[in-house]
Amino acid sequence: MVLAPHSNPEAPVLAHFSLAGKTAIVTGGCRGIGLEVARGLCEAGAKVAITYSSTSPSEADDIAAQISSANDGRQVKAYKCNVRSIADVDAVVEKVVQELGDGRLDIMVANAGVSKHTPAIDYPEDQFREMFDINVNGAFWAAKAAARVFERQAKADGAPFRGSIIFTASVSATLVNIPQKQAAYNSSKAALVHLSKSLAVEWVDFARVNSISPGFIETEMLDIHPQEWRKVWNEMIPGHRFCKPAELKGIYVFLASDASSYMTGADLIIDGGYTLP
């Protein structure tokens, strides 16, 4: 098979971004970047499943209801899922396929992740393993569960099917942040970018696989760092400001949609120029 072609490349360009009729899953979709990505996908027309881990079930349901009511009641549903558990991930993906997708799935955003700054020389074994278990393994379990559905659909349709898998990586895959010491985080994100490229080649018959590498985004993940570090980073970013999470939703819709139909294996850096100097 070939990378599935765009069904109508000559259509006016905004139609290329439409996700009408598609079903998407966003892991870690109840706060931060994932929440805004979920909003963006829904605004573009997709039914969206958002997964959560430590968020309370009632809060997650409220968030899903808010996104739905802001988008003509389009289906948005929250599912509890610890991405470290293969059983959890597989069960949630199959549930979403049945409950939201009428047997189908189109988009998987493997976004859930954690960060921590700990000097490498002191890194406790369990914490180093946990970082990779969430940021790399968990992202892979999510991608793999989606890929199985995509492959199944391609076989059933007897035609090329192009699902979209999007990993939230980081500029930390490309550079080493200072002054924070975060070798585990940086290397987990570098692994994720190369995992994405590898899967893009291996799964070309039924999926496009890309990653997005954000710079400094104003979420709880950034809040854990001391204020003086934020001043240092602000000086280092040519754009001299941090990014609001909602400023990322367009790039996720781009990768999820036919607007990027020939793009696979790419890592899109969105960082106000931070990686340039």
Ligand X SMILES: NC(=O)c1ccc[n+]([C@@H]2O[C@H](COP(=O)([O-])OP(=O)(O)OC[C@H]3O[C@@H](n4cnc5c(N)ncnc54)[C@H](OP(=O)(O)O)[C@@H]3O)[C@@H](O)[C@H]2O)c1
Stretch that binds ligand X, among 78-86, 94-102, 148-156, 173-181 (CB under 6 A): 78-86
Residue 117 found at the interface with ligand X (CB under 6 A): no
Q: Which is nearer to ligand X, 7 or 54 (CB)?
A: 54
Q: Quickly tell me which residue has 């960082």 as its tokens.
A: 271
Residue 214 found at the interface with ligand X (CB under 6 A): yes
Binding mask 216-245 for ligand X (x = CB under 6 A): xx-xxxx-----------------------
For ligand X, which residue of 4, 33, 63, 131 counts as binding (CB under 6 A)? 33
116 is catalytic: no
Shortest separation between residue 111's beta carbon and ligand X, angstroms: 5
Residue 255 found at the interface with ligand X (CB under 6 A): no
User: CA 41, CA 102: separation in Å to the nearest integer?
Assistant: 18
Tokens, residue 94: 């199959």
Tell which positions 138-177 bind ligand X, by CB under 6 A. 138, 168, 170
The rounded radius of gyration (Å) of the Cα atoms in the chain is 18
Report which of 55, 29, 57 is spatially closest to residue 47, judged by C-alpha positions: 29
User: CA 201, CA 208: separation in Å to the nearest integer?
Assistant: 9
52 is catalytic: no
| C-beta atoms surrounding 165 within 10 Å | 27
Of 189, 196, 211, 260, the catalytic one is 189
Q: Which is nearer to ligand X, 3 or 86 (CB)?
A: 86
Q: Which is nearer to ligand X, 63 or 204 (CB)?
A: 63
For ligand X, which residue of 19, 24, 31, 131 counts as binding (CB under 6 A)? 31
The residues, any chain, with a CB within 8 Å of residue 110's CB and separated by 6 or more, are: 27, 83, 138, 139, 140, 142, 143, 165, 166, 167, 168
Tell which positions 46-75 bind ligand X, by CB under 6 A. 52-55
The residues, any chain, with a CB within 8 Å of residue 130's CB and separated by 6 or more, are: 84, 114
189 is catalytic: yes
Give the number of residues written for the chain. Answer: 277
The strand pairing partners of 268, in sequence order, are 212
Q: What angle do CA 248, 251, 255 make, to 5 degrees?
A: 140
CA 96 to chain centre: 17
Q: Which is nearer to ligand X, 154 or 212 (CB)?
A: 212
Catalytic positions are: 170, 185, 189
Question: Residues interacting with ligand X, by CB under 6 A?
Answer: 27-28, 30-34, 52-55, 81-84, 111-115, 134, 138, 168, 170, 214, 216-217, 219-222
